[in-house]
Chain A
């Protein structure tokens, strides 16, 4: 496991009725990596997560996770294999309490029979408490998740991801709509998760990415334009052009 990458995207292409959303995309993530992916709107950031999580089947290419291909697998199976995904806007179960949301995330096995016949083990209950303390939601344990603030919803969703205990966390724009303070806390939280987990963050908030202090991949028109540290990226003339849009059809 140490030598082979956790996730490897090989020449992924996705076309939607002729429009190429992703074009020969290559990406490698090793165990414990924290990686940021940035890119202008329409660069294919979300499509790229859709491919990994099984929501979109690529036209071409392969996704290798833990040395096995994920292509053609159902979303829930990919989730069970250890890929957790946080959506762009917080997606939690609004009509359940914070605790109930987390209970669904930590439950295992995720079969109807087990949910109906077994009650949660003490270990899992402790795990729920731990998750709530990570994201500062202990006092809201019995509050309906729909009544949380936007930032708290984002955190609850991240806590649910961690509760699934995935090897790979895919986090799509976790700081959209958060205050500066919340953004900083989220960055620290994601940094602390890396190591135990492999974390891939998509965002275009530069301050946030800088704070993550990790390798960055720049996505443009469906493939990786540049990989490197944040300071390298910001100096790169190609990236500047893409972001500032000096000459649109440079390529």
Chain B
């Protein structure tokens, strides 16, 4: 396999202006398929979730899944689209064993949703509007596994095996208008856009939205033009880029590859590219050709779908708060800075913090725990923080113990270990592990006197008003009490001992 020449991303950006376009396929999580009553379930034994409609047998009739239409309308509304009063299905004709019918039932000239937009927030807070051309209903194809050959790819395969369980699974394909003006942020925007679509369909509850299962799949179109030129360059379409990271990498790579092609004076070939996660490169699929002449025509076996305004408004009334609006509201409610909030979102603990606050913790306490002790432990255990097993109630109880002076922060961390080890509630663990703070002043004063005697120069400094020196004495006391002292109380007692106003 030959390796394509590429320019550095910086050089490519200096010379060219990228234009992007995305087709995102979303598998709906309806119970049944788009046009048949066979179950829509992932991971079952091959060819067991099929009936005569999915296998394209002669004389069968498709019937539209009402829930799938409603889900499609919801997606359209969430993408700020207009919903067509009337739309219809069309046949997209092609020969390939992933469809037993030799056509895919899709929508062509009359999509159910059109003319929308999505405001995408980039990592530094810049908001970039992506215009949505259309969102249309269609069905997924069967799954091919290429056997034989060295690579498992189609080149060199001896034969292919087909599982039609996925055939007929309801899909909504979301197509953007050409995205101009992203400049060097194009790769970041690409990732953020797909992430936003995924978040929206998940929030709507219309898709499981698991990219690793192919519930959300992205085809990324990239073209370059010299700065200042209006006319678009020739594009490539990188297929099936199926993780958020891969979307970013694929767009970046294609920009670099196109730039090298244009620099050499050759035209870019309009073609399909295949993304390879292992090498983070694309290779040529096939050139756009006759095979893309799909001879669409209206599906004679299905009647039009009319979306009355009443129906659309009923569905609109069921939409949950959009994820971006929810984030804005929560940040304002909690009083987090932009940076604090972004860290919370990126750490994936926003929902957990919300639940913890609902359970009775303050916003700052909830953040302290989730972003500190819990995120750290989750990283070590290599799980999502929310999957670690810490309940909002645990945090509220831990915090009460700390604020009540029963335990200090260091002990709280040990108590949390105990909770995760299944030793009981925080209060029980404090008892079992003997972790209560030493609050009897007697032993504390003994330790303080010892610490002051050991560091007379420090004691002198504190007497002279240099209060910041107190840390050395507090440290000595904590060491002597094995961390079982309340640092605040220790500080107070040291000042009293030395006769200094705190």
Q: Do A and B come from one complex?
A: no
What residues make up the interface of A, taking CB atoms closer than 8 Å to B?
Answer: none
